[in-house]
C-alpha cells in the first residue's frame, strides 16, 4: 500500500492552525476578563459604602468569671393544716397560679359543726339567764324592799330613843313600870321589823345584785368563748395560700388524713428568683451588696438577666474558705423558672483609663485580631492586640487604635482596605 505524504502534511498543518486559534482565543478571553476584573475592582474602590461606627474613648473595663448556680424562688412555703383531719376537697393542682388567701384544700368539719351547734345553744341559754337576772321587775322589788328597810330603820331609831328616855325617867320615879315595859315592847318590835326588812332586802339583792349579774356575765362570756373556739377550728380546716404564687407540689389526696406536721401543698413566688454562688476569698473583696451583675441561663437560649447582689455572708465557709453570695433576679416577665441552671458573671479584674472597643468590632483571621476604622473617608484595617475583656467590651493594648477613632461595628468582612466609605448617621 502506498501513502500520500502530502495529505498527511496538510492535515497536520490544519491541526496546528486550530490549536493556535484556540490559544489566541484563550489569551484574548483572559485579557478581557482581567481588564473587566480590574475595572470592577476600581469601580468598587471608587464606590462609597455606608457604614456604622462608634467613637473610641478611654474608659474602665472589668473582666468576668462565671459561677454556676441553680435558680431558687425568693419564697418557697410548705403549707400544712393547723389541725389534723380528713381531706374533704382539693382545689388546686401543680402549676396553678394562686393568690394570697385563696383556698388550697379543705378538711372534713362535719363533727366540728355539730359541736358548734351545741356551743351555740349553750350561748343562747346564758344570754337568757343574764337577761333574766337583769329583769326590770326584780329591780323594782329591790327598790321597794330598800324603802321598807329605810322606813323600818326610822321606826327603830324612834323606838330606841323613846325607850332610853323612859329608862332615865323610870330611874327618877317619874314614870311607872308599866310605861317602861310598853316602851321596851315598842323598841323590840321595831328591832324585829328592821331585821326582817334587812333580810328581805338582802335576799332580793342576791337575785339581781352585782354578784349575780357578774356570774351571769361570766357564764355568758364562757359560752361565747366556746362558740368562738369551735369556729376557729372550723376555719383552720379551710387551708389557704399565705402568698401569691404558683403551686409547686400537692402531697395530699381526698379521703386521707393530713397531719399538722407534714407539708400538704407547696407554693413558690417565681417573680423574684435567686442564684446562690460560692465566691473565693481573693475575689469577694471586689464585689459588694447592691452591685449589678449579669446572670446567664445555662441552656441553648443563652438568655441573660440583670441581677443584684442581695447578701454576702460575713464569714467564709470553714471547709471551702468561700463566701456564699445571694444574687436577686427580677423575673416579673416570667422568662425564667425555678430550678434552671445559670451562670453569674462577677468581675475578676478592673482597669481604668484604657482603650476599649465593642467585642463585635474585632474580627479574627487565622487567630490574629483586626479592627476596621474609617480614616479620611476610607477603610483602614488595623492589626490589634487585646487585654482583658468581658461579655461586651475588649481592651485594646496596641497603639494602632486611639481615642476618638471611628471603629466600624458591622459588615467588616465585606470591606477592603482603602475602600471609600461614608459614616451613616
- Whether residue 350 is contained in a domain is answered as yes
Q: In terms of Cα–Cα distance, which of 157, 167, 165 is closest to 190?
A: 157
The one-character DSSP state at 416 is -
Q: Domain check: are 255 and 178 in the same one?
A: no
- Whether residue 278 is contained in a domain is answered as yes
- pLDDT tens per residue, range 153-180: 888 888 888 888 888 888 888 888 888 8
For 249-286, letters b (16+ CB in 10 Å) and e give ebebeeeeebeeeeebbbbbbbbebbbbbbbeeebbee
> What's the domain range around 26?
1-47
Joined together, the cell numbers standing for residue 415 give 470591606
Q: In terms of Cα–Cα distance, which of 276, 267, 305, 268 is closest to 71?
A: 276
Helix (H, G, I), strand (E, B) or coil at 316: coil
Helix (H, G, I), strand (E, B) or coil at 77: strand
Q: Domain check: are 95 and 31 in the same one?
A: no
- Whether residue 305 is contained in a domain is answered as yes
Question: Facing residues of 383 across strands?
Answer: 370
pTM for the predicted model, two decimal places:
0.48
CA distances from 231 to 79, 82, 91, 123, 236 (A): 21, 14, 22, 13, 9
CATH code of the domain covering residue 138:
1.10.287.620
Q: Domain check: are 99 and 138 in the same one?
A: no
Q: Domain check: are 277 and 310 in the same one?
A: yes
- Whether residue 31 is contained in a domain is answered as yes
Hunting for cell 473582666 — which residue is that? 63
Q: Domain check: are 275 and 407 in the same one?
A: yes
Which residues are CB-neighbours of 264 under 8 A, at least 6 positions away?
Answer: 79, 80, 81, 104, 105, 239, 250, 251, 252, 258
> What's the distance, Cα to Cα, between the start and end of the chain in Å?
89
Q: Domain check: are 203 and 93 in the same one?
A: no
Q: Domain check: are 326 and 408 in the same one?
A: yes
Taking the C-alpha atoms of residue 288 and residue 294, their distance in angstroms, rounded to an integer, is: 14
- pLDDT tens per residue, range 285-326: 888 999 998 888 877 666 888 899 999 999 998 888 899 999
- Whether residue 2 is contained in a domain is answered as yes
Q: Domain check: are 333 and 248 in the same one?
A: no
The one-character DSSP state at 247 is E
CATH code of the domain covering residue 312:
2.40.30.170
- Whether residue 9 is contained in a domain is answered as yes
Q: Domain check: are 119 and 63 in the same one?
A: no
Taking the C-alpha atoms of residue 411 and residue 425, their distance in angstroms, rounded to an integer, is: 16
**pLDDT at position 393, please?**
92
For residue 238, the surrounding DSSP H or E stretch is strand 238-240
Q: Domain check: are 99 and 246 in the same one?
A: yes
**pLDDT at position 274, please?**
92
Taking the C-alpha atoms of residue 364 and residue 199, their distance in angstroms, rounded to an integer, is: 117
- Whether residue 77 is contained in a domain is answered as no
Maximum distance among all Cα pairs of the chain, rounded to whole angstroms: 218
Taking the C-alpha atoms of residue 296 and residue 307, their distance in angstroms, rounded to an integer, is: 10
Q: Domain check: are 43 and 90 in the same one?
A: no
**Total tally of structural domains belonging to the chain:** 4
Taking the C-alpha atoms of residue 420 and residue 379, their distance in angstroms, rounded to an integer, is: 6
Which residues are CB-neighbours of 86 under 8 A, at least 6 positions away?
Answer: 107, 108, 255, 256, 257, 258
Rg over alpha carbons for the chain, rounded to the nearest Å, is 54
Q: Domain check: are 251 and 275 in the same one?
A: no
Give the residue ranges of the chain where pLDDT is below 50: 1-3, 136
- Whether residue 159 is contained in a domain is answered as yes
Which residues are CB-neighbours of 178 under 8 A, at least 6 positions away?
Answer: none
Question: Facing residues of 308 across strands?
Answer: 292, 328
Q: In this structure, how many other beta carbons lie within 10 angstroms of the beta carbon of residue 291?
A: 15
Amino acid at each position: 500500500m502506498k501513502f500520500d505524504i502530502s495529505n498527511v502534511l496538510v492535515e497536520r498543518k490544519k491541526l496546528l492552525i486550530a490549536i493556535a486559534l484556540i490559544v489566541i482565543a484563550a489569551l484574548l478571553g483572559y485579557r478581557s476578563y482581567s481588564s473587566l476584573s480590574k475595572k470592577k475592582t476600581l469601580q468598587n474602590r471608587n464606590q462609597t459604602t455606608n457604614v456604622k461606627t462608634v467613637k473610641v474613648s478611654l474608659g474602665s473595663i472589668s473582666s468576668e468569671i462565671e459561677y454556676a448556680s441553680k435558680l431558687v424562688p425568693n419564697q418557697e412555703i410548705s403549707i400544712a393544716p393547723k389541725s389534723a383531719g380528713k381531706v374533704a376537697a382539693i382545689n388546686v393542682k401543680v402549676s396553678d397560679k394562686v393568690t394570697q388567701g385563696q383556698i388550697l384544700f379543705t378538711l372534713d368539719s362535719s363533727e366540728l359543726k355539730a359541736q358548734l351547734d351545741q356551743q351555740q345553744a349553750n350561748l343562747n341559754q346564758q344570754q337568757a339567764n343574764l337577761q333574766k337576772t337583769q329583769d326590770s321587775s326584780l329591780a323594782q322589788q329591790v327598790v321597794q324592799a330598800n324603802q321598807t328597810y329605810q322606813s323600818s330603820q326610822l321606826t327603830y331609831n324612834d323606838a330606841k330613843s323613846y325607850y332610853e328616855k323612859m329608862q332615865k325617867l323610870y330611874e327618877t320615879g317619874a314614870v311607872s313600870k308599866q310605861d317602861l315595859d310598853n316602851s321596851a315592847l315598842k323598841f323590840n318590835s321595831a328591832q324585829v321589823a328592821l331585821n326582817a326588812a334587812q333580810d328581805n332586802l338582802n335576799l332580793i339583792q342576791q337575785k339581781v345584785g352585782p354578784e349575780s349579774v357578774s356570774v351571769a356575765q361570766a357564764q355568758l362570756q364562757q359560752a361565747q368563748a366556746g362558740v368562738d373556739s369551735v369556729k376557729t377550728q372550723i376555719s383552720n380546716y379551710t387551708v389557704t395560700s399565705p402568698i401569691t404564687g404558683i403551686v409547686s407540689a400537692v402531697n395530699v389526696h381526698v379521703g386521707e388524713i393530713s397531719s399538722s406536721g407534714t407539708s400538704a401543698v407547696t407554693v413558690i413566688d417565681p417573680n423574684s428568683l435567686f442564684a446562690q454562688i460560692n465566691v473565693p476569698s481573693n475575689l469577694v473583696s471586689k464585689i459588694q451588696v447592691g452591685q449589678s451583675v449579669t446572670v446567664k441561663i445555662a441552656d441553648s437560649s443563652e438568655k441573660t438577666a440583670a441581677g443584684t447582689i442581695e447578701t454576702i455572708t460575713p464569714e467564709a465557709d470553714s471547709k471551702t474558705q468561700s463566701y456564699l453570695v445571694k444574687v436577686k433576679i427580677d423575673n416579673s416577665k416570667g422568662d425564667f423558672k425555678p430550678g434552671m441552671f445559670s451562670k453569674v458573671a462577677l468581675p475578676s479584674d478592673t482597669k481604668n483609663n484604657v482603650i476599649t472597643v465593642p467585642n463585635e468590632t474585632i474580627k479574627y483571621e487565622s487567630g490574629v485580631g483586626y479592627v476596621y476604622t474609617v480614616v479620611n473617608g476610607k477603610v483602614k484595617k488595623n492589626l490589634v492586640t487585646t487585654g482583658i475583656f468581658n461579655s461586651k467590651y475588649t481592651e485594646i493594648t496596641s497603639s494602632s487604635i486611639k481615642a476618638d477613632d471611628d471603629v466600624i461595628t458591622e459588615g467588616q468582612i465585606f470591606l477592603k482596605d482603602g475602600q471609600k466609605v461614608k459614616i451613616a448617621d
